């Protein structure tokens, strides 16, 4: 006589005949209510940005739905991280631009400083063709500082700088290279163009209401010098010659004799 096998109960393991453990049951892995928070902390220029993602899994939610919710939280975290990185990059880019500007700009007048002037002069002279340099020095500027104070002197420097900057061509460079000394780099300009420019600058400064004048010296590459240092010296010597001639004048540098002559 064959005995019919006993019918399995609903929650028994068919292999071992033991009750099935709920810990191994995927459908019951998500049972139970819990609340977890994922925190993303991003330190950007000092303050920390905290982004919180609540993940609430209620009782009887199947594993697939819980996994989708976790993926959603992960995607939201990635999006927030990308946004924060974008903000950090933009902040860094703006900071770098500001630092570069401070490193190449005169803080009082906003013109190019001595460092930027030397770099530009070297680059221009490396190109083929003539270029001219004008150096201008304000006349009797010390009297302004002594009589009216340094604040008044700074105001005069700012006015002169703005006048020079608005009187040159678009691709010319105007720099403040000393206390009351300015340099104007004219790429591609010969002596005719540079002399006309210097006269226009002299008249523009003379017309300012502050009553200051400027003496200007001109040197051209390669007639007066073939390297940056020598060209600056030639223009500077010409500016001081303009002062000796009575100030508020324009003087042209002297052509250096060749070594073979």
Q: 206: which 2 tokens?
A: 């003379």
Instruction: Check: CB of residue 223 under 8 Å from CB of residue 191.
Output: yes
Q: Which of 110, 117, 140, 155 is nearest to 232 (CA)?
A: 117
Q: Of 180, 181, 199, 206, which one is the catalytic site residue? A: 180
| Beta-carbon contacts of residue 51 (< 8 Å; ≥ 6 apart) | 39, 40, 42, 77, 80
Q: 231: which 2 tokens?
A: 């060209």
Task: Confirm whether 181 is a catalytic residue.
Answer: no
Q: How far apart are CA 56 and CA 38, in angstroms?
A: 11
Q: What is the 3-state secondary structure (H, E, C) of 48-78?
A: EEEEEEEEEECCCCCHHHHHHHHHHHHHHHH
Instruction: Check: CB of residue 125 under 8 Å from CB of residue 227.
Output: yes
Instruction: Check: CB of residue 219 under 8 Å from CB of residue 225.
Output: yes
Active-site residues, by number, are 180
């Amino acid at each position: 006589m064959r005995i019919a096998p006993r019918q399995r109960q609903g929650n028994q393991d068919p292999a071992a005949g033991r009750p099935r453990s709920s810990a191994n049951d995927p459908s019951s892995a998500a049972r139970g209510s819990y609340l977890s928070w994922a925190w993303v902390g991003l330190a950007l220029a000092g303050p920390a940005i905290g982004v919180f993602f609540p993940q609430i899994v209620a009782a009887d939610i199947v594993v697939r739905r819980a996994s989708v919710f976790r993926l959603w939280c992960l995607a939201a975290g990635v999006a927030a991280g990308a946004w924060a990185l974008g903000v950090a990059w933009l902040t860094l880019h703006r900071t770098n631009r500001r630092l570069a500007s401070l490193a190449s700009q005169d803080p009082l007048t906003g013109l190019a400083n001595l460092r930027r002037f030397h770099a530009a002069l070297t680059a221009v002279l490396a190109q083929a063709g003539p270029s001219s340099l004008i150096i201008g020095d304000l006349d009797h500027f010390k009297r302004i500082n002594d009589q009216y104070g340094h604040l008044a002197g700074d105001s005069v420097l700012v006015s002169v700088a703005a006048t020079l900057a608005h009187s040159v061509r678009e691709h010319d460079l105007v720099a403040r290279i000393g206390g009351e000394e300015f340099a104007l780099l004219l790429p591609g300009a010969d002596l005719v163009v540079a002399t006309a420019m210097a006269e226009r600058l002299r008249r523009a400064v003379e017309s300012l209401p502050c009553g200051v004048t400027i003496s200007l010296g001109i040197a051209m590459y390669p007639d007066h010098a073939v390297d940056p240092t020598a060209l600056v010296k030639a223009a500077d010597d010409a500016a001081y010659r303009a002062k000796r001639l009575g100030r508020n004048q324009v003087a042209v540098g002297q052509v250096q004799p060749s070594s073979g002559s």
